[in-house]
Amino acid sequence: MNGQRISAMSVGFFFAFLLATICITVFASRRSRSASEYFNAGGRVSALQNGLAMAGEYLSAAALLGMTGAISLKGFDGVVYSIGVFLGWPLILFLVSEPVKRLGKFTLADVIAWRLRAKPIRIAVALASLPIVLLYLITQLVAAGGLIKLMFGIAYLPAVVLVGIIMLCYVFFGGMLGTTWVQIIKAVLLFAGSAVLVVLLLAKFGFHPSAIFVAAAQQADPSITAPHVLASLDRWDTLSLAVALVFGALGMPQILTRFLTVANARDARRSAFYATSLVGVFHIFVLTLGFGALALIGKHDIVAAGGAGNMAVPLLARLLGGDAFFGFICAVSFATMLAVVAGLTLSAATTFAHDIWAGVVMSHTDGGVQRQPQVARAAAVVVAVASVLLALRFEGQNVAFMVGLSYSIAASANFPVLMLALYWRRLTTAGAVAGMLAGAAAAVLLIVLSPTIQVEVLHRAVADVAGRWWFVPLRNPCIVSLPFALFVACAVSLLRPQTSEQAGYARMHAVLEG
């Protein structure tokens, strides 16, 4: 009976949110007729709205479920996820928010290609962005499967398929405007729900935050609240993860394209400031909830719930707030995944429709430009099907760790070339393409050859792969793949200089300073 009551409450919250977002999507579809309205909401989103939507892009299943779960299982060692991602947001604010708005139109490729040859850049950006988006999508779908299994007892496969169908509805009909409003509502609900959960947790300990950490240390062991002395390989792995999380946000296409939905560069800066502030406060919540879950629930029960710690927050919500609050947190978490996967799918579809279809195949002819929304919808179907199929192989992985892998590819492929395009005069088209593809290929290859895929996904015995010449012991490749991409881009640019493209650098900075 208790399980049925929980299920009924969760279903009620879920369908209330779903109904509200469908209404928003239908409304947005009436205003998303042109390519500009479909892809960037016509540039009519305010700074505060965009800041909330950007925070919503980040406040995903990885932020609430994965990072909290990592902290509840690893203690202080899990805090690297939280600190690393937050440090990337000030860099977004100061380094890329204004340039992306001034130089971009629909996608990241518009910015990089501003002073370079457009077609090769667009192809390279599309190829490099595909594994980033797919891995991030897989992350959200894995979390969705685990959450639905906990809420309703529905099997993993139908839960993942359900998320894929709903996210396609958002993308098909709402476009950027609908996705933006879904993100805003989701961000407000998630932030408010997390704040209430933190207050309930503090009340449990007499509003003495230090008591939470003392209880966590007693539940596990005293060392859980302090960093551990790591083995040599683990140190490099941790450093590699930190580098990926800090710089990966500057290469995530779904975050950067949000700057194109506001009216001007000033609003782009303000929206980045709002998002940075919200994300910073949210990370304080994550730290508190992670140790609170460890103190009150215990590592054994968190592990028993499945998902490599992903279910720590829902279990804590049920313990502190009862069935109703458990249903609310589960429904909001599920809505979070729907909103994030919709934004990711739209980003991938926009890249294909604008950069490949209109920019390369149709060479920006009138017919190609007009058909961009239709092509984007077709691309969204392909991306959704591929992500659902791949998510079936990653069941049970911690979603925060998987996001770290996605950030590694973004930091290796997009970040170095974006920085060079904006701040290095001698970058050439050949250098940008070579650096982007080299970074993406190196990151993906090292991930495939790492324990993450070989042991945890393919379930090969450690003894069978550890001695192979191709096996890569690093779980996170960024510390190798990012410098490699930077070296390739610089080396190719210096070996094949282009005077005309260097002249475009001066024109670009005239636009940025104007």
54 in Cβ contact with 255 (< 8 Å): yes
51 in Cβ contact with 274 (< 8 Å): yes
**Euclidean distance between CA atoms 224 and 211, whole angstroms:** 14
Please state the domain extents for the chain: 2-405
Amino acid at the residue 292? G
Neighbour tally for 305: CB within 10 Å: 18
Domain boundaries 2-405, corresponding CATH code: 1.20.1730.10
Any residues with CB less than 8 A from the CB of 215 and at least 6 apart, and which? Answer: 205, 295, 296
Amino acid at the residue 129? S
Q: Between vectors from CA 399 to CA 405 and to CA 481, what angle results, nearest 5°?
A: 5
268 in Cβ contact with 95 (< 8 Å): no
Per DSSP, the three-state class of 311 is coil
**Euclidean distance between CA atoms 445 and 408, whole angstroms:** 12
Alpha carbon 357 to its chain's center: 25
> Look-up: residue for tokens 């902290």?
71
**Euclidean distance between CA atoms 283 and 56, whole angstroms:** 13
Name the residue among 111, 80, 137 with its Cα closest to residue 387: 137
**Euclidean distance between CA atoms 250 and 253, whole angstroms:** 8
**What percent of the residues of the chain are helix, what percent strand, and what percent coil, each to the nearest 5?**
85, 0, 15
pLDDT in tens, the chain (514 residues): 344 445 566 667 667 776 776 777 667 666 655 666 666 666 678 888 888 888 877 776 567 777 788 788 777 777 777 777 778 888 888 888 888 888 877 778 888 888 888 889 988 988 888 888 888 888 777 777 776 776 667 777 887 887 778 777 766 666 667 777 777 887 888 888 889 999 999 999 988 888 988 888 887 767 676 666 555 567 888 888 889 888 988 888 778 888 888 888 888 889 989 988 888 898 889 889 988 988 898 888 888 776 567 778 888 988 888 877 887 887 777 777 776 777 777 777 777 777 777 667 766 566 556 677 777 778 888 888 888 888 877 776 666 667 778 889 999 999 999 999 999 999 999 999 999 999 999 999 998 888 878 877 777 777 777 777 678 888 889 999 999 999 999 999 999 888 888 888 888 888 887 6
